[in-house]
Amino acid sequence: MFDKVLIANRGEIALRIQRACKELGVATVAVHSTADADAMHVRLADESVCIGAAPAKDSYLNIPQIVAACEITGADAVHPGYGFLAENARFAEILEEHDITFIGPSAEHVRLMGNKIEAKDTARKLGIPVVPGSDGPVTDLKQAKRLAREIGYPVLVKAAAGGGGRGMKVAPTETELEVAISTARSESKAAFGDDTLYLEKYLMKPRHIEVQVLADGLGNAIHLGERDCSLQRRHQKLWEEAPSPALNQSERETIGATVAKAMQDLRYRGVGTVEFLYEGGEFFFIEMNTRLQVEHTVTEMITGLDLVIEQIRIAAGAPLSLRQEDIRFNGHAIECRINAENARTFRPSPGTITHFHTPGGLGVRVDSGAYAGYTIPPYYDSLIAKLIVHARTRNECLMRLKRALGEFVVDGVETTIPLFISLIGEPDIVDGNYDIHWLEKHLAEG
């Protein structure tokens, strides 16, 4: 096991990782920007190092500074969390060159899945069904038109390097294709420094269903069931649940087994998520995330497993301690992302939190780095807390969620709490009857 883990992240996920390290008896190092000097992840770590100015490129994305912080503190491993450097293959390689373990998959797998065209190609070869679309990149308009006709409109223009819903544009008909391509190209170039695009069939009523995997790189891989992340705005998840209200037991087992087998064949190491769109009883692979995800918590609640502890053990070289038949799914869990944003327009609302009271009681978990008096810096994402509720059934879970949201007090900034309170009364939400477009339609109608 490691002696000391440096956590190259901030906010709730930095705290989440610290907790796992503490339970394993591993010392922790926090890194922070000048804007985060008072942050909870800094206060609760065993040691901390300031790695640069507020903008992420100067601090949380500053690889030389992070490596220097490891050397100063003697950290022997780095946990990247999610976002920032979590899917940066070069970062993983640089750490290995310095004899520091990257808590994650091999750099080769990070790179492979980071390119969505290659990821789809790999998935197809591993026997995973993929969304119909272009097999390779789109090179010119003439070729794009030909491909789009073959795929059938509407088509979605996507960035090979895409993430966070950026570089994605719908073309309902051929008339809109040229503009969709040029907008996606410039967005992708600006966000990722890469303007490679590809085309996909745009699905009209899919759900977003993803499978959590755990693998040791030695050829053992298991799945931990699925999460339904269909409640989204601008292709960004807001509410996640496990299990999915849309799947039956046989669908769940089949897709889980397909993914686990593929990860065995790939000799994947660590935690990972294989993301699908699900429509008309069929699954279509869209991408794989080679890291811990924001919504890993709902899987933890229904399996009773600590995914970060498993992830750290695997990175330290331990073989998988669990077999598929050891995994028991218990009850239902829902996560709501409490963002400092206006609940209707989703405009960020940075500022100082004047009062902060978190809900508690049976089956209620809050992962957050916020506190009364905390000033939310404008430089990073707007997530201030994750409320996760667990109960025996989905109905009980919704009742508990309503109660917990009612107890949550965040004053001084706007949050998404009022949106979640209003959603719980919606018949479609109660019935679990929603797809990836439901929330935006609902907001537009309201």
Catalytic residue list:
291
What's the alpha-carbon Rg for the chain, to the nearest Å?
21
Cβ contact 66:31 at 8 Å:
yes
DSSP letter (8 states) at residue 374: P
Amino acid at 211: V
By beta-carbon proximity to ligand ADP, the closer residue of 67 and 286 is: 286
Give the position of tokens 């993983």: 92
The closest alpha carbon to 429, from 388, 395, 387, belongs to: 395
Phi (first) and psi of residue 79, to 5 degrees: -100, 120
By beta-carbon proximity to ligand ADP, the closer residue of 285 and 420 is: 285
Cβ contact 213:223 at 8 Å:
yes
Phi (first) and psi of residue 229, to 5 degrees: -120, 45
Structure tokens at 147: 């491909």
Contact residues for ligand ADP, defined by CB under 6 A: 131, 156, 162-165, 200-203, 206, 208, 232, 235, 275, 277, 286-287, 436
Residue 277, classified by CB atoms within 10 Å of its CB into exposed (0-12), middle (13-18) or buried (19+), is: buried
Give the number of other Cβ atoms within 10 Å of residue 102's Cβ: 25
CB of 273 to ligand ADP, least distance (A): 10
Structure tokens at 59: 């601090």
CB of 127 to ligand ADP, least distance (A): 20
265 vs 258: CA distance, rounded Å: 11
Per-position DSSP letters for 322-340, written without gaps between them: --GGG----SEEEEEEEES
By beta-carbon proximity to ligand ADP, the closer residue of 208 and 332 is: 208
CB of 228 to ligand ADP, least distance (A): 11
By beta-carbon proximity to ligand ADP, the closer residue of 164 and 317 is: 164
Give the number of other Cβ atoms within 10 Å of residue 279's Cβ: 16
74 vs 4: CA distance, rounded Å: 7
In sequence order, which residues have a C-beta less than 8 Å from that of residue 269 and are 6 or more positions away?
105, 106, 109, 215, 216, 217, 314, 315
CB of 440 to ligand ADP, least distance (A): 10
CB of 368 to ligand ADP, least distance (A): 23
Structure tokens at 55: 């903008």
CB of 380 to ligand ADP, least distance (A): 18
By beta-carbon proximity to ligand ADP, the closer residue of 163 and 219 is: 163
CB of 280 to ligand ADP, least distance (A): 13
By beta-carbon proximity to ligand ADP, the closer residue of 170 and 318 is: 170
> How far from 129 is each of 34, 122, 211, 255, CA to CA, in Å?
46, 11, 13, 10
Structure tokens at 4: 């000391």
161 vs 287: CA distance, rounded Å: 11
By beta-carbon proximity to ligand ADP, the closer residue of 203 and 312 is: 203
Cβ contact 215:224 at 8 Å:
no
By beta-carbon proximity to ligand ADP, the closer residue of 163 and 331 is: 163
Per-position DSSP letters for 35-94, written without gaps between them: GGTT-HHHHSSSEEEEEE-SSGGGTTT-HHHHHHHHHHHT--EEE--SSTTTT-HHHHHH
3-state SS class at 117: helix
CB of 155 to ligand ADP, least distance (A): 8
